[in-house]
Amino acid sequence: MSDWTWEHEPDAENVVGGRRPTQRLEVEAIAQGITEVVGVRRIGKVL
C-alpha cells in the first residue's frame, strides 16, 4: 500500500464563486464551525 496522499485546497473563488453575499457568509460560518470543532478535538493531543 502506498503512503502517498493527495489534498485539495481550493481557493475561495472555487468554493463560493458566483454566490450571493449572504450565501458566502453562510459558507464562511459553516467553515468556521468546522474549524472550531476540529480545534476542540485536537486539544490535549500530542502532535
Q: pLDDT value at position 38?
A: 82
CA 9-36-38 angle, 5° bins: 65
Exposed (0-12), middle (13-18) or buried (19+): which is 24, by Cβ within 10 Å?
middle
pTM of the model: 0.59
Is pLDDT of 47 > 70?
no
User: pLDDT tens digits, residue range 11-40?
Assistant: 888 888 889 999 999 998 998 998 888 887
Between CA 34 and CA 1 the distance in angstroms is 30
Q: pLDDT value at position 21?
A: 92
Q: pLDDT value at position 1?
A: 53
Domain ranges of the chain: 12-42
